[in-house]
């Protein structure tokens, strides 16, 4: 075929699966799978997810201009599938994960090393054939060759209070020649625990994949379940979910802005931003009974109502941030010694952000405007006015500014939500039954994908949760190249990728 295929052509070339919502899923053969891979490599579509199943692999594709998504699946009866990463590098770690968890072998994959499996589980391929473990093989980091290079090994236990991960630097004096991350330390086996769980329990697990995005994950999980079962969520629940999601974004962005400055040794910003973050968490606690709003979003709606006397609490929160934040932005912008650290540091090229489908502030600071709230316009964002800030510099400074703009946008969104919050019920009844659903929602860090298949009893047969950081972590390695080692914490914090979210 000479003409460029559309996503509908791909679905047409396969066997469409019934009961998959809201977008179609098709089982395709290896030829179509490879054609899709070719289109990904040609930047026709964005790879939004790639995950394993019992003797099959699934791939979620996003057509950004058309705002359409599909899922294509390839059966792997002999335990092998043609590697996507061979032509499209963003798939590398996803394929290594599929191999570790399911034992499905990506043919001609560029990287044969394990990813999550450190040889310590006592079992190999825990979601697949479950063979007994053999002795752990030593892990070989990618090399860098040249005169006077040295290695710096950092982690998994770090100097600060952060999540576990290992970073291996090759440096020439102060300059980073190569950075390679190794993760999996926080792997808890969430996808195995999901199997056979009822929806209530599974939703709680989803809310514990990534602590700072607990609202985002529970919304993504709930929307996938609702899509699978064709549930109509009451509009008040949609609005309350958005309220929680924006509070989560606000808290995290405020915390990040301070923490990035702190990593440039400018503690004053950290002190003031941490106060504002604390105020958001306290308001969330007063309104929803939990500082991080954990377990407040449930399949079918929300678990609890926003009382009328909570609305003044939130208005006062907005007023307080409105009073304090502009002076902090001014301080950030007018402190030359701080700007000296953040401007032109850790530049992520727009081409890479596009190739990897980087979302959130990482993508939007490097010219990729995708925001699931806008592009996919899930409720209630289809009824709310907001702007999606985009910058093109791609440096630490741009990632700070995207957050500053988004703080203002989230405040405006909360204002609108408080003004227009519809009355009505909080939760729809969830019917028991089989089905498959996909959801993509915008967390503070970027788009979170949830896919699940329910069996006839309404229990989870398979659930996959894809954190935005899968497509951001590899870009940190590119952005740090040529920067000095001392700027790594600054660059890392400006990305603020999830560890537990990716380790699952």
Partner 1 sequence: MRKLLFQGLVRSPLTEPRPFADDAELIALATKLDSAARRRLGRSLSIREVDAGSCNGCELEIHALNNAFYDLERFGLKFVASPRHADVLFVTGPVTKNMREALERTYRAMPSPKWVVAVGDCALDGGMFAGSYAVMGGVSTVLPVDLHIKGCPPRPQALLAGLLALIEARRANINQHTAQVDP
- In the three-class reduction of DSSP (H, G, I as helix; E, B as strand; rest coil), residue 91 is classed as helix
Closest to 470 (Cα-Cα) out of 454, 447, 441, 487: 447
Write down the least CB distance from residue 291 to partner 1, Å.
Answer: 7
**Contact at 8 Å (CB) between 424 and 163?**
no
If phi > 0 it is left, if psi is from -120 to 50 it is alpha, else beta; for residue 9 that is alpha
Distance of CA 283 to the CA centre of its chain: 25
- In the three-class reduction of DSSP (H, G, I as helix; E, B as strand; rest coil), residue 471 is classed as helix
Write down the least CB distance from residue 19 to partner 1, Å.
Answer: 28
Residue 132 interacts with partner 1 (CB under 8 A): yes or no: no
Write down the least CB distance from residue 201 to partner 1, Å.
Answer: 8
Q: Which is nearer to partner 1, 62 or 203 (CB)?
A: 203
Give the C-alpha separation, 210 to 467, whole Å: 9
Beta bridge partners of 453: 436, 462
Q: Which of 21, 89, 156, 379 binds partner 1 (CB under 8 A)?
A: 156
Q: What is the DSSP string of 46-60?
A: EEEEEEEETTEEEEE
DSSP label of 484: B
Closest to 291 (Cα-Cα) out of 306, 277, 308, 312: 277
Residue 22 interacts with partner 1 (CB under 8 A): yes or no: no
Write down the least CB distance from residue 108 to partner 1, Å.
Answer: 28
Q: Which is nearer to partner 1, 214 or 345 (CB)?
A: 214
Write down the least CB distance from residue 499 to partner 1, Å.
Answer: 7
Helix (H), strand (E) at residue 37 = helix 30-41
Q: Which of residues 208-237 bind partner 1 (CB under 8 A)?
A: 208-212, 214
**Contact at 8 Å (CB) between 168 and 140?**
no
Residue 58 interacts with partner 1 (CB under 8 A): yes or no: no
Q: Which stretch binds partner 1 (CB under 8 A): 39-47, 103-111, 237-245, 495-503?
A: 495-503
Residue 263 interacts with partner 1 (CB under 8 A): yes or no: no
Write down the least CB distance from residue 186 to partner 1, Å.
Answer: 5
Write down the least CB distance from residue 443 to partner 1, Å.
Answer: 13
Number of residues that bind partner 1 (CB under 8 A): 54
Give me the sheet containing 15-16, strands edge to edge: 15-16, 25-28, 68-75, 56-63, 46-53
Q: Which of residues 264-283 bind partner 1 (CB under 8 A)?
A: 268, 271-272, 274-275, 277-278, 281
Write down the least CB distance from residue 450 to partner 1, Å.
Answer: 16
Q: Which of 112, 146, 160, 419 binds partner 1 (CB under 8 A)?
A: 160
Q: Which of 42, 67, 123, 153 binds partner 1 (CB under 8 A)?
A: 123
How many CA atoms are closer than 13 Å to the CA of 176, on its beta-carbon side? 25
Q: Is the peptide bond before 281 cis (omega within 30 degrees of 0)?
A: no
Q: Which of 122, 138, 146, 419 binds partner 1 (CB under 8 A)?
A: 122
x/- track of binding to partner 1 for residues 439-478 (CB under 8 A): ----------------------------------------
Q: Which of 5, 164, 350, 433 binds partner 1 (CB under 8 A)?
A: 164
**Contact at 8 Å (CB) between 366 and 485?**
no
Residue 485 interacts with partner 1 (CB under 8 A): yes or no: no
Write down the least CB distance from residue 122 to partner 1, Å.
Answer: 7
Alpha-carbon distances, residue 227 vs 231, 450, 451 (angstroms): 7, 11, 10
Cβ of 290: how many Cβ atoms within 10 Å? 16
Write down the least CB distance from residue 191 to partner 1, Å.
Answer: 10
If phi > 0 it is left, if psi is from -120 to 50 it is alpha, else beta; for residue 446 that is left
Residue 313 interacts with partner 1 (CB under 8 A): yes or no: no
Q: Which of residues 281-310 bind partner 1 (CB under 8 A)?
A: 281, 291-292, 294
Q: Is the peptide bond before 22 cis (omega within 30 degrees of 0)?
A: yes
Q: Which of residues 173-212 bind partner 1 (CB under 8 A)?
A: 184-190, 192-193, 204-205, 208-212
The residue count of the chain comes to 504
**Cα dihedral value 79, 82, 86, 87, nearest 10:** -150
Q: Which of residues 317-346 bind partner 1 (CB under 8 A)?
A: 327-328, 331, 334-335
Write down the least CB distance from residue 274 to partner 1, Å.
Answer: 4
Give the C-alpha separation, 403 to 364, whole Å: 10
Residue 21 interacts with partner 1 (CB under 8 A): yes or no: no
Cβ of 304: how many Cβ atoms within 10 Å? 16
Q: Which of 162, 329, 344, 461 binds partner 1 (CB under 8 A)?
A: 162
Beta bridge partners of 123: 132
**Contact at 8 Å (CB) between 467 and 210?**
yes
Q: Which residues bind partner 1 (CB under 8 A)?
A: 116, 118, 120-123, 126, 156-157, 159-164, 184-190, 192-193, 204-205, 208-212, 214, 255, 268, 271-272, 274-275, 277-278, 281, 291-292, 294, 327-328, 331, 334-335, 498-501, 503
């Amino acid at each position: 075929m000479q003409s460029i295929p559309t996503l509908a052509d791909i679905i047409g070339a396969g066997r469409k699966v019934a009961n998959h919502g809201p977008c179609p899923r098709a089982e395709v053969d290896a030829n179509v799978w490879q054609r899709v891979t070719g289109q990904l490599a040609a930047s026709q579509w964005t790879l939004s997810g790639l995950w394993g199943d019992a003797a099959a692999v699934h791939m979620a594709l996003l057509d950004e201009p058309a705002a359409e998504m599909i899922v294509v699946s390839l059966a792997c009866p002999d335990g092998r599938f043609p590697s996507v990463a061979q032509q499209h590098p963003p798939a590398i770690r996803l394929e290594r994960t599929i191999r570790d968890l399911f034992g499905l072998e990506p043919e001609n994959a560029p990287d044969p090393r394990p990813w999550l499996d450190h040889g310590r589980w006592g079992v190999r391929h825990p979601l697949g054939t479950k063979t007994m473990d053999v002795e752990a093989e030593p892990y070989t980091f990618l090399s860098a060759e040249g005169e006077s290079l040295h290695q710096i090994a950092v982690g998994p236990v770090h100097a600060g209070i952060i999540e576990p991960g290992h970073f291996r630097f090759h440096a020439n004096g102060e300059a980073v020649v190569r950075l390679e991350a190794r993760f999996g330390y926080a792997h808890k086996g969430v996808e195995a625990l999901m199997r056979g769980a009822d929806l209530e329990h599974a939703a709680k697990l989803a809310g514990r994949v990534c602590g700072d995005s607990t609202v985002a994950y529970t919304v993504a999980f709930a929307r996938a379940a609702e899509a699978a079962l064709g549930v109509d969520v009451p509009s008040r629940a949609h609005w309350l979910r958005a309220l929680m999601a924006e509070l989560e974004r606000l808290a995290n962005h405020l915390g990040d802005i301070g923490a990035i400055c702190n990593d440039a040794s400018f503690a004053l910003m950290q002190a003031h931003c941490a106060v504002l973050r604390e105020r958001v968490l306290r308001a969330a606690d007063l309104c929803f009974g939990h500082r991080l709003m954990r377990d407040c979003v449930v399949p079918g709606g929300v678990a609890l109502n926003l009382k009328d006397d909570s609305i003044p609490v939130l208005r006062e929160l907005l007023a307080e941030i409105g009073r304090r934040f502009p002076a902090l932005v001014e301080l950030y912008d007018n402190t030359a010694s701080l700007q000296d650290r953040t401007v032109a540091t850790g530049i992520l090229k727009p081409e890479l952000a596009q190739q990897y489908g980087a979302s959130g502030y990482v993508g939007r600071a490097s010219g990729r405007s995708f925001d699931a709230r806008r592009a996919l316009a899930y409720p209630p964002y289809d009824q709310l006015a907001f702007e999606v800030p985009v910058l093109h510099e791609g440096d630490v400074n741009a990632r700070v500014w995207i957050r500053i703009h988004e703080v203002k946008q989230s405040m405006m969104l909360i204002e609108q939500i408080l003004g227009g919050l519809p009355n009505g019920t909080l939760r729809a009844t969830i019917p028991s039954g089989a089905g498959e659903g996909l959801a993509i929602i915008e967390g503070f860090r970027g788009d979170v994908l949830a896919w699940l298949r329910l069996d006839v009893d309404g229990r989870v047969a398979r659930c996959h949760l894809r954190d935005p950081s899968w497509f951001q972590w590899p870009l940190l390695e590119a952005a740090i190249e040529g920067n000095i080692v001392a700027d790594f914490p600054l660059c890392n914090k400006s990305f603020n990728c999830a560890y537990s979210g990716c380790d699952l």
